[in-house]
Structure 1
Amino acid sequence: MHEAMTSTTTVDYQRTDGATLRLTFAEPERALRGGLIVLHEGHGVTDGVLLLVTSLAGEGWLTVTPHLEPDAELTQQDLLDATDITLEWLVDRGVDADLRGVVGFDLGGTAALVVASHRKLGAAVSVGGQAVAELPRLLEIAGRVTSPWLGMYGDAGDAAGEAEVERLRDAAAAAKVATNVVRYPGANHRFDADPGAAQEAWQRTLDWFDAHLR
């Protein structure tokens, strides 16, 4: 990750229809390569989310995270509305449509897949939690992604988890855009127990955006 910590700025962005959304963003110090939206996990905009925002900005992306209500029952429409407002903000900042991507970790990983299957973005990445209850829903939407999507999942070291991730890969393969599902044997859903897996997932994330946002 980029050593120099870029600072973040928080704004209340008002749309033309009067709706406002709090956004926290970090700007790259060099030429702008595009814009990335970070979808945070259930606990809101944590230090981990801010580190991700600044690290991605350090790689040359204008990176922004919308403040979604922590632990609230976010509907799919709430999520898409917040993403749409954030996409508008990126356009206001001069980011072209094909240079916009979305990335999410944990619950945000599921959110990123939802966005990737409902919006046409340049690229999307999910570093996902292993939640068996969610998998049927993920399988339903993975085959409908309209944005090139990379999903990375730990299998929690058991055969059931392994089979689930393989089913997700098969479902995503039916999509009309580029997809890749990577399984990390034994990694937990947060990837924090395995620094090697976490580092490789970070590199794969950067490579996916490099390949598709150009």
Structure 2
Amino acid sequence: MTQQIAVPTTDGEMPARLWSPKSGSGPGILLLQEIFGVSAYIQRRAASLAEEGYVVLAPFLYWRLDRQTFDDVSAPDVVEQAMALAGQMDAEQAVADAVAAFEVLAARDEVTGTPANLGFCMGGGLGFATAARTEPAALVSYYGTALPQLLDLAPQVTCPSLHHFGTADDYLSMDEVRAITKAVTADGRPAQVELYDGANHAFDNDDFSLYHPEASRRAWATTLDFLRNHTSLA
């Protein structure tokens, strides 16, 4: 079951989509969009998580802007358009919106235990920054492009975390991935970093040209195992 809900913020109500499992209740997952918005792909991932037993909330983080989603990611200039839209977001405001969504999800009666954060691309960095301000059960970040600029927050991200990177990522160099790995695992923090040979950025998006089926399959299986181990679904 899916429904539209509103997340109160200091600037008004942010729209969000909520997916519920057949059981009606379960652990919560805050699902944070990539630069293409809460697209058809993100919605499919949310539905898959609900089928696994999770209550999933995906806030529309572009809600203050003129456009919300890019579903036709095959358009020649879609990446440039999406990056331009994402560039209009205020980073601090976006984190505050994500924190507000996390708090709304955590307070819902059907959510058992503490929610986890799961983010893709832009959402991977937002999930990390949100985890530094809240106490999620776990964090899963897919190729978080902002992570190299957020590593000073690593000591504040104390929850178990899982980070996915392709070794052929056009937006994150392997030197940056090594720096991320060093930061998130420092001082014995419970972080896991997974690499996928030959996979580029956005390898999980099966609507996009950089989709890598094997990396996507392996990463999703690892994600589901990780979430089971660190949420009340276990």
**1:21-64 deviation line (CA, Å, top 9, x unaligned):** 21111110026331001100122211011111111111100001
Residue in structure 1 matched with residue 225 of structure 2 by the alignment: 207
CA distance in 1, matches of 2:57, 2:102: 10
CA distance in 2, matches of 1:118, 1:92: 16
Q: Secondary structure at the match of 1:37?
A: strand
Measured at CA, do residues 147 and 110 of structure 1 come closer, stay the same or move farther in structure 2, by a change above 3 Å?
A: same
Structure 1 stretch displaced more, 179-188 or 64-73: 64-73
Q: Secondary structure at the match of 1:146?
A: coil
Instruction: Look up the equivalent residue of 1:194 and give its one-letter code.
Output: H
Instruction: Look up the equivalent residue of 1:102 and give its one-letter code.
Output: N
Say whether residues 1:140 and 2:152 are aligned partners.
yes
Residue in structure 1 matched with residue 13 of structure 2 by the alignment: 20
CA distance in 2, matches of 1:93, 1:28: 14
Residue in structure 2 matched with residue 100 of structure 1 by the alignment: 115
Residue 199 of structure 1: CA displacement? 0.8
Residue in structure 1 matched with residue 43 of structure 2 by the alignment: 50
Residue in structure 1 matched with residue 81 of structure 2 by the alignment: none
Q: Secondary structure at the match of 1:174?
A: helix
Residue in structure 1 matched with residue 101 of structure 2 by the alignment: 86
Structure 1 stretch displaced more, 44-53 or 73-82: 73-82
Identical-pair percentage: 29
Say whether residues 1:197 and 2:215 are aligned partners.
yes
Aligned counterpart for 1:188 among listed residues 186, 200, 213 = 200
Q: Secondary structure at the match of 2:173?
A: helix
Residue 93 of structure 1: CA displacement? 1.9
Give the superposed CA RMSD: 2.5
Residue 183 of structure 1: CA displacement? 1.4
Residue in structure 2 matched with residue 121 of structure 1 by the alignment: 136
CA distance in 1, matches of 2:11, 2:167: 43
Instruction: Look up the equivalent residue of 2:127 and give its one-letter code.
Output: A
CA distance in 2, matches of 1:135, 1:13: 26
| Equivalent residues in 2 for 1:1-12, closer than 5 Å | 7-12=1-6
Say whether residues 1:150 and 2:168 are aligned partners.
no
Residue in structure 1 matched with residue 80 of structure 2 by the alignment: none
Residue 101 of structure 1: CA displacement? 0.7
Residue in structure 2 matched with residue 4 of structure 1 by the alignment: none
TM-score (norm 1): 0.82
Instruction: Look up the equivalent residue of 2:60 and give its one-letter code.
Output: H
Measured at CA, do residues 117 and 89 of structure 1 come closer, stay the same or move farther in structure 2, by a change above 3 Å?
A: closer
CA distance in 2, matches of 1:145, 1:193: 29
8 A Cα contact 1:168 1:181, kept in partner = no
Residue 18 of structure 1: CA displacement? 8.2
TM-score (norm 2): 0.76
8 A Cα contact 2:162 2:226, kept in partner = yes
CA distance in 2, matches of 1:30, 1:175: 39
Residue 91 of structure 1: CA displacement? 3.3
CA distance in 2, matches of 1:143, 1:190: 27
Residue in structure 2 matched with residue 3 of structure 1 by the alignment: none
What runs of 5+ residues in structure 1 fail to find an aligned partner?
1-6
Count of aligned positions: 202
Measured at CA, do residues 173 and 26 of structure 1 come closer, stay the same or move farther in structure 2, by a change above 3 Å?
A: same
